[in-house]
Amino acid sequence: MADEKKNSDDSHLTEEAPVDLPSNKVKFEIYGEEMIEKRVKSSGNSGRVYLPPNWVGHKVKIIRTD
């Protein structure tokens, strides 16, 4: 009986993906000071992005968009 009640309480939830976003994408909402869009360059067995020198020592977040 408790299982039936739980299922009926969850009836308002939906598992459908948003119509305007591909199913393999996620949405991030970030608050910050500045944003720079750059392409990652090859660097040995890794990738590299150069940022302005005044960003040194600050916390940054990198999000791959494609």
Please report, in tens digits, the pLDDT of each residue of the chain (66 residues total).
544 444 445 555 556 555 666 678 888 999 999 999 999 999 999 999 999 999 999 999 999 988
Backbone angles phi, psi at 2, to 5 degrees: -65, -35
Do residues 49 and 40 touch, judged by C-beta distance below 8 A?
yes
Within 10 Å of residue 51's Cβ, how many Cβ atoms?
A: 13
Do residues 61 and 30 touch, judged by C-beta distance below 8 A?
yes
The alpha carbon of residue 31 and the mean position of all alpha carbons in its chain are separated, in whole angstroms, by: 13
- Could you state, in order of their start, the residue ranges of all structural domains in the chain? 40-66
pTM beyond 0.85, yes or no: no
